[in-house]
Copies of this chain bind each other. A is one copy, B any other.
Amino acid sequence: MDFDIFECGDIQLQCGDTLRDAKLAYKTYGTLARGGGNVVVMPTFFTGSHSRNEGFFGPGRALDPARHFIVSINLFGGGLSSSPSTAASRQEAGNFPAIAFQDNIAAQHRLLTGHLGVKKIALVLGWSMAGCQAYHWAVQHPDLVLAILPFCASARTSPHNFVFLEGVKAALCADTQWNNGDYGTQPVEGLKAFGRAYAGWAFSQSFYRNGRYRDLGYESIADLLDDWAEDHARNWDANDLLAKIATWQAGDVSAGPEFEGNLEKALASIRARTILMPCAQDLYFPPEDNAYEAQHIPGAKFRPVLSEFGHCAANPGNDAGFTAQLDTNIAELLNA
């Protein structure tokens, strides 16, 4: 086991339910500096994990464990932190409660401030659902978070993004083996359908038109689709995927009693230095939503990147140009 578990105990959730015996799986890299000014928080993305986050930093890069204390924390539902597939009895499988981004951030906050002794966070950053968590960190803890860098993400899940997720969910749940979450064995056909339906959204039209899948080692589109289908069937629990999608679909920094759905007011409350970095060809986190956010977050910089890889531009190893700009933006935020 290459990670640690933080026992959160029972957590009162935004939905009103309680998540019992909640666990956060996390890993730290580097050393907390005297004075504590080198803390970087990395939540995980949809199919991410602390280990997949490792592609975003390394020796000599803008984020480097030789200089930074990186805390990589697995999302609830990801299979390592509390998830339908691992939950305490009576909350397993289809009985897992609805988890908001706010609930993830509340638990992560307890880990960081209570357990790890963190007093300031230099930067929260991440791709996709991880980036969504960065916004939530900035809104929920404006005095703690000095900078955020969400890439291919948004502060509130857009209506179209919600609809796209309804589509991939429908593909999974069409498999009667899923049985409303009460399955003995995984709904393999549904998981494969989920992967195949997702693949059209993950990359841009020109990624497919120009055969960029060859850059990723696929000989053909059929190869790519089969691999996405097999990956989902082999590596994921259906209820875990659905739990994370529920978190994603409900994503909204303004949800809750403080902002009561007023997105602009929630964004205006952010004190963190902010760079928003969408991929212009992302089909479900299109740059328009970030451009709007940037108008409301004080001082926010809006820096879209062109990449045929679309949403997956940010996946480590896919697009060197995206990675270079990511590192430039990270360095700017850390060295301000």
- The reply on A142 being an interface residue by CB < 8 A is no
Interface residues of A in 175-201 (CB under 8 A from B): 175-177, 189-190, 192-193, 196-201
- How many angstroms from the CA of A168 to the CA of B167 in the assembled complex? 8
- Known A-B contacts A206-B288, A208-B160, A209-B158; A167 and B196 likewise in contact (beta carbons under 8 Å): yes
Contact: A193 with B176, CB < 8 Å? no
Q: How far is the CB of A290 from chain B (nearest CB, A)?
A: 12
Number of copies of chain A assembled together:
2
Counting chain A residues whose Cβ lies within 8 A of the other chain, the interface size class is 35 or more
Contact of A208 (CB < 8 Å), options: B158, B167, B172, B173: B158
List of B residues within 8 angstroms of A203 by Cβ: 160
**Complex Cα gap A204–B199 (Å):** 18
A272 interfacial by beta-carbon distance below 8 Å: no
Q: CB distance B160 to A286 under 8 Å?
A: no
Complex Cα gap A196–B164 (Å): 9
Q: Flag if A159 contacts B209 (CB, 8 Å).
A: yes
Question: Within the complex, which residue of B162, B168, B209 is in contact with A288, where a contact is CB–CB below 8 Å?
Answer: B209
> What distance in Å separates the Cβ of A238 from its nearest Cβ neighbour in chain B?
11
> How many whole Å from A203's CB to the nearest CB in chain B?
8
A227 at the interface (CB under 8 A from B): no
